[in-house]
Chain A
């Protein structure tokens, strides 16, 4: 599934995926889902043993209604 599709399907959740395909810049294009959770810390407990895993929030950065000022 593409990263964009994952963002829609798992909207509002943290997801852990194995990357299947990358673009020419090395950014993930498609991936298979390993786990998802509303709470990031709980997701990390689930995927603790994974040796190479990609984790991200399925939503915009920052979340809607916020402006980022790092």
Chain B
């Protein structure tokens, strides 16, 4: 699958849950160990993204280092994440909202990309995932 390169690298991804499929705009992030999806989307898709570090029975969380802070966010396993015909199953993710001005919903991290060969060719202006 080939896409024209933009800065930042953006693409639509399809995320499957128990209740349906949500297609969201993602930023490709090779610096993120996990994929990130908005908390409310995760919950609406049927994931247990209720984690609160102050409530021991609220599920599983993960301490996450961002560029500006350490946060503790709900950890979930996404059933399927697809870009075009490429599908990865059991994708590790955190449920957390990006700041509004980002305009993006998802950070597509290494938990998705590790299933594929990804080529970022700025000279040719092409992103290739295969």
List chain A positions with a Cβ less than 8 A from chain B: 19, 25-28, 40-41, 44, 48, 50-57, 59-63, 65-66, 68-70
Contact = CB atoms under 8 A, between A and B. Distances in A.
A41 B40 CA distance: 8
Interface in B1-59: 1-3, 8, 10-12, 19-25, 27, 29, 31-32, 38, 40-41, 44
28 contacts: A25-B2, A25-B3, A26-B1, A26-B12, A26-B84, A27-B11, A27-B12, A40-B38, A51-B20, A52-B20, A52-B23, A53-B23, A54-B12, A54-B22, A54-B24, A55-B41, A56-B12, A57-B103, A61-B102, A61-B104, A62-B8, A62-B104, A63-B102, A65-B101, A66-B101, A68-B27, A70-B27, A70-B32
A57 B101 CA distance: 10
Contacts of A26: 1, 12, 82-85
Interface of B: 1-3, 8, 10-12, 19-25, 27, 29, 31-32, 38, 40-41, 44, 67, 82-85, 100-105, 107
Contacts of A27: 3, 11-12, 84
- Classify the secondary structure of A's interface with B: loop
Q: Chain A CB within 10 Å — which of B10, B12, B19, B44 has the most?
A: B12
B41 A44 contact: yes
A68 B9 CA distance: 10
